[in-house]
């Protein structure tokens, strides 16, 4: 037996011993149940209210989706100049409104003067909201209007900005004031922002995964040491792919499900894909077309 062969065998033996040792000592902890995520069948979350059916992030969109029977909404939030939390995705208002500028540079009163349905064309191509203005709403408005809907809240302001620095504490105070701890999921692309929020919430609110947590989970899943992974969050809301890596496999879904961590996939507007994901074990569909998603869910039951 050559020297290289002996070294390879020794390395393999050491790796096997390390795996066996870690397996014996590991005690994977499931995430505790969160009331907001307690449901027995897949759910539909209207993306920004269902942004292909009505102007995104406006009450018109949320009302339309609610009438279709969706289980909840996926929303983004930002902080205004006067530190009000508004439901809005982009840093700038240009794409959806008849004005321009950063959300953080306007007060709430100023933002309410703009028409956020100005650039919205419905499925027929009509710009009806140019004549019937749609206004920006606050997170308080949304939670007050729909106390029985699950609301997945994504903090969009960058953590290193003034707005981003204030958002976790502002958001927690509002949730606590409204008693909405069991109604919401709070997340961000930035894991540090989720950690900041949880310093206030102390696990009283369901948490969604940031990019870092998703990467950590997938790396664990594809390694020999998946049994060592301990989730820090309660739900993954993710696309079906991360770069070229597939995140919608039955194996990955089951890996997280065993840890009591469901997966919601976004943004799914194709009926065939909705059916495929539900068959794979997805617990939620985030969509711009809640009409199609609710019909698909009905047909699957």
Please check whether residue 22 lies inside any domain of the structure: no
pLDDT above 60: residue 24: no
Q: Residue 288 has which token pair?
A: 């711009």
φ, ψ dihedrals at 7, nearest 5°: -65, -45
Q: Are 222 and 248 in contact (CB under 8 A)?
A: no
φ, ψ dihedrals at 150, nearest 5°: -70, 135
Q: Please give the pLDDT value at position 260.
A: 97
Please check whether residue 269 lies inside any domain of the structure: yes
Q: Please give the pLDDT value at position 1.
A: 55
Q: Please give the pLDDT value at position 84.
A: 98
| pLDDT digits 0-9 by tens, 97-124 | 999 999 999 999 999 999 999 999 999 9
Burial code (b: 16+ CB inside 10 Å, e: under 16) for 187-214 equals: bbbbbebbebbbebbeeebbbbbbeebb
pLDDT category at 242 given cuts 50, 70, 90 is confident
Q: Residue 12 has which token pair?
A: 């393999």
Provide the number of structural domains found in the chain.
1
- Looking at the chain, the whole-number percentage of residues with pLDDT higher than 70 is 91
Kindly report the CATH number assigned to the domain that includes residue 158.
3.20.20.190
pLDDT above 70: residue 228: yes
Q: What is the mean pLDDT of residues 80-95?
A: 98
Q: Please give the pLDDT value at position 243.
A: 87
pLDDT category at 93 given cuts 50, 70, 90 is very high
Its domain, for residue 198, covers 33-91+138-300
Please check whether residue 43 lies inside any domain of the structure: yes
Please check whether residue 219 lies inside any domain of the structure: yes
Q: Please give the pLDDT value at position 11.
A: 41
- If one counts every other C-beta atom within 10 angstroms of the C-beta of residue 148, the result is 8
CA-wise closest residue to 34 among 235, 259, 258:
235
| pLDDT digits 0-9 by tens, 135-180 | 999 999 999 999 999 999 999 999 999 999 999 999 999 999 999 9
- pTM for the predicted model, two decimal places: 0.90
Please check whether residue 48 lies inside any domain of the structure: yes
pLDDT above 90: residue 282: yes
- Which residue matches tokens 């609110």? 205
Please check whether residue 288 lies inside any domain of the structure: yes
Q: What is the mean pLDDT of residues 247-272?
A: 97
Minimum mean pLDDT range among 27-41, 81-95, 191-205, 245-259: 27-41
Q: What is the mean pLDDT of residues 176-198?
A: 98
Query: CB under 8 Å to 5, separation ≥6 — which residues?
Result: none
Please check whether residue 131 lies inside any domain of the structure: no
Q: Which residue has the higher pLDDT, 299 or 7?
A: 299
How close are the terminal C-alpha atoms of the chain, in Å? 61
Please check whether residue 287 lies inside any domain of the structure: yes
Q: Please give the pLDDT value at position 225.
A: 85
Q: Are 56 and 49 in contact (CB under 8 A)?
A: yes
Q: Residue 213 has which token pair?
A: 């947590």
Query: CB under 8 Å to 225, separation ≥6 — which residues?
Result: 19, 22
């Amino acid at each position: 037996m050559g020297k290289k062969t002996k070294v390879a065998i020794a390395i393999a033996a050491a790796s096997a011993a390390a795996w066996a040792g870690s397996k014996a000592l590991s005690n994977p902890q499931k995430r505790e149940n969160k009331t907001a995520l307690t449901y027995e069948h897949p759910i539909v979350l209207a993306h920004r209210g269902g942004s292909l059916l009505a102007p995104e992030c406006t009450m018109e969109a949320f009302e339309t989706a609610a009438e279709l029977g969706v289980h909840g909404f996926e929303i983004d939030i930002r902080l205004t100049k006067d530190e009000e939390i508004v439901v809005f995705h982009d840093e700038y208002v240009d794409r959806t409104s008849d004005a321009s500028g950063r959300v953080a540079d306007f007060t709430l009163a100023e933002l309410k003067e703009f028409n956020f349905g100005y650039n919205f064309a419905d499925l027929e191509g009509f710009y009806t909201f140019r004549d019937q203005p749609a206004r920006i709403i606050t997170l308080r408005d949304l939670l007050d209007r729909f106390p029985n809907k699950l609301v997945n809240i994504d903090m969009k302001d960058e953590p290193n900005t003034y707005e981003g620095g204030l958002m976790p504490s502002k958001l927690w105070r509002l949730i606590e004031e409204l008693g909405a701890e069991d109604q919401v999921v709070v997340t961000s692309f930035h894991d540090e922002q989720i950690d900041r929020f949880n310093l206030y919430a102390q696990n009283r609110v369901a948490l969604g995964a940031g990019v870092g947590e998703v990467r950590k989970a997938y790396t664990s899943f594809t390694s020999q040491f998946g049994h060592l992974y301990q989730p820090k969050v309660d739900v993954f809301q993710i696309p079906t792919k991360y770069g070229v890596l597939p995140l919608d496999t039955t194996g990955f879904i089951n890996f997280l499900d065993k840890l009591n961590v469901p997966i919601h996939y976004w943004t799914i507007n194709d009926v065939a894909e909705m059916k495929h994901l539900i068959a794979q074990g997805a617990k939620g569909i985030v969509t711009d077309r809640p009409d199609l998603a609710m019909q698909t869910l009905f047909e699957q039951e």
